[in-house]
Homo-oligomer: A and B are copies of this chain.
Amino acid sequence: MSRFIQIVEVGPRDGLQNEKTILSVEDKLDLIRALETAGARRMEVVSFVNPNRVPQMAGAEDIMAALPADRVQSRIGLVLNMRGWERCVSTGCDEANVVVCASDGFGVKNQGATVRQQIDTLAAIAERQAVEGGPPITATISVAFGCPFDGEISQDQVVAIAREAAALGVREIAVADTIGVADPWTVRQRIEAVRAAAPDARLRMHFHDTRNTGLANAFASVEAGVDVLDASVGGLGGCPFAPAATGNIGTEDLVYMLERAGFETGYDLAALIRIGRDISAKLGKAPASSLARAGGFPA
């Protein structure tokens, strides 16, 4: 029996977030519904950031209201602070993905908070959830392999954040190469180190293909026993720190690589390729994923 790898679709959130062409709520719902039909069972569908700061992420409440709980198996909302958590609870998200940056430089520029302040926020959210209820919390450690402001990020720093998150009861920890600088050897080392520090948390890995190492890093992760990976249809997801570069690893590229080797993902590759091409056209650009350009094999 082949091994199942769960791919969390992040196109509607991380993928769109930096796109200049602003999509309507209805466009975003079309994308989410198409992805669900193509096999997405966990999807980051909204971000509870300030829409004045990130206009593309406006309409989170409308999107959640239009997506009944029985549509996608798990509708994930991105949360950066307590206000985000409250919106996440009130809209009925199935999971809250709370971000903790691994560097003060990125944290302050991106979220107005140091690493320590972000961990304190995570702790406060976990406490609210324990007392008042609310969706399960996952934590994403962003810029975990390098930061555009602070440079190299040590493994010890990533491990320390993971240990604190696990101690707060976070059930899944994502280690994210937000700016796409990781190599697969370092990925393997950090997976082993984080697993040793947080043995009870499930590990999820999040890669960007900025420097073409995304699928190598995904392969290294699966070989290291990771069963959950983020990806973005069409390879959506620009990087504000490398404007000409591509973004997240493409869901269709990841599905191709895994299924060609005999893994199961539950996705329909041909449908993903169509969705990647369609959403790229809607955004007025060529698809960033390789499968959208080359097609599958055998055809």
Contacts and interface: CB of A to CB of B under 8 A. Distances in A.
Given A146-B298, A181-B260, A293 B216 contact: no
Contacts of A152: 298
B186 A261 contact: yes
**How many copies of this chain does one complex carry?**
2
Interface string A117-152: 000000000000000000000000000001000011
Interface of A: 146, 151-152, 179-186, 209-216, 218-220, 239, 242, 244-246, 249-250, 253, 256-258, 260-262, 289-291, 293-298
B257 A216 contact: yes
Contacts of A179: 297
B260 A219 contact: no
Contacts of A257: 183-184, 211-213, 216
Contact of A215 (B215, B239, B244, B291): B215
Given A212-B253, A219-B220, A291-B212, A297 B184 contact: no
Contacts of A213: 215, 253, 256-257
